[in-house]
Amino acid sequence: MGVFYFIVALLALASSVGFAYDPSPLQDFCVAINDTKTGVFVNGKFCKDPKLANADDFFFQGLGPGNTSNPLGSKVTPVTVNEILGLNTLGISLARVDFAPKGLNPPHTHPRGTEILVVLEGTLYVGFVSSNQDNNRLFTKVLNKGDVFVFPIGLIHFQLNVGYGEAIAIAGLSSQNPGVITIANAVFGSKPPISLEVLTKAFQVDKNVIDYLQKQFWYNNS
Ligand SMILES: *[C@@H]1O[C@H](CO)[C@@H](O)[C@H](O)[C@H]1NC(C)=O
Ligand SMILES: *[C@@H]1O[C@H](CO)[C@@H](O)[C@H](O)[C@H]1NC(C)=O
C-alpha cells in the first residue's frame, strides 16, 4: 500500500512538472517594464469583464475577397485576435488567401502557428522546407479544390496558383496571433537594411547582387 501511494505521489509530481509551462509568446516580443505604472501591454491582450462580452466579440463580417492587383498577385486577409477580440487566449485564428492567375503567396513563416490550408477554388502548388537538422528537405504538393495541406509551425512555406483561373484558400492557424515573416521582405527589405558585408557573405554573391535586391520594393501581401 505504501508503495502504491508513493507511486501515485511520484506520478502527481511528474505530471505537475511535465504540464507546468510558461505561456508561449503571443506577439513578437513583450519586453518587461520596470515600473508597473507605465505598463499597458501583456502577453496577449487585456480581458474585458466576461459579463460584458457579447456575440459581436466573436464575430467577423465579410471575409474577402482580397484585392490581388499587386506585384505578387495574392492577398492574405487575416482573421486573428486583432480582428476578433474574442479569440484572445484561445490559440486559434484563420486567414483567407486569394490568388490571381499565377499569383504567389511568397516564402514566409508563421513564428507562432502551425497552418492547415484547404483549397476552396483553383489549383495551388504548395510546399515547405524542413529545418537544417532535417537537411532542409522540400515537401511539395499540387492541391485541387477540397485538398488540405499542413505547414508545420515555423517552417518556410509558399503557395503558387498554377491553375487557369483565380484560386481561393482558407488557412486555420494554431495561434490567436500566428505572425508572418516574409523571407525576402525581412532579409532584403529590413529597415534599416542589413549590412552588405553580412548579406554578401551569407548568400555568397557579389555586393551588387545584394545592392540590387535591397533596392527592390518588397510588397507585403498580408
Ligand atoms: C529596474 O529598476 C531598478 C530600481 O530603479 C534598477 O536598479 C534596475 O537597474 C532597473 N533594471 C533595468 C533592467 O532597467
Ligand atoms: C485593387 O488594388 C488596385 C491597386 O492598388 C486598385 O487600383 C484597385 O482599385 C483595387 N480594386 C478594388 C476593387 O478595390
The reported pLDDT for the residue numbered 34 is 73
* pLDDT at position 33 over 80: no
Distances (CA, A) of 106 to 12, 72, 117, 198, 220: 47, 8, 15, 23, 10
Mean per-residue pLDDT for 7-26? 56
Nearest CA to ligand 2 atom 6: 69
Q: Give the pLDDT band (50/70/90) at residue 98.
A: very high
Residue to mutate, 68, 69, 75, ligand 2, most ligand atoms under 8 Å from C-beta:
69
For the chain, helix (H) and strand (E) counts, in that order, are 4, 10
Q: What would the grid cell of residue 173 be?
A: 492557424
Please give the number of the atom of ligand 2 that sits closest to the Cα of 67: 1
Q: How many CB atoms lie within 10 A of CB 73?
A: 19
Q: What would the grid cell of residue 110 be?
A: 508563421
The reported pLDDT for the residue numbered 164 is 96
> How remote is the C-alpha of 104 from its chain's centroid?
16
In the chain, which segments carry CATH 2.60.120.10? 2-177
C-alpha 100 to ligand 2 mean position (Å): 13
Please give the number of the atom of ligand 2 that sits closest to the Cα of 70: 4
CATH topology of domain 2-177: Jelly Rolls (2.60.120)
* pLDDT at position 136 over 90: yes
pLDDT in tens, 176-215: 999 999 999 999 999 999 999 999 999 999 999 999 999 9
| Helix 196-203 with 207-215: angle, nearest 10 deg | 110
The reported pLDDT for the residue numbered 19 is 54
> What pTM was estimated for this model as a whole?
0.85
Q: Give the pLDDT band (50/70/90) at residue 105.
A: very high
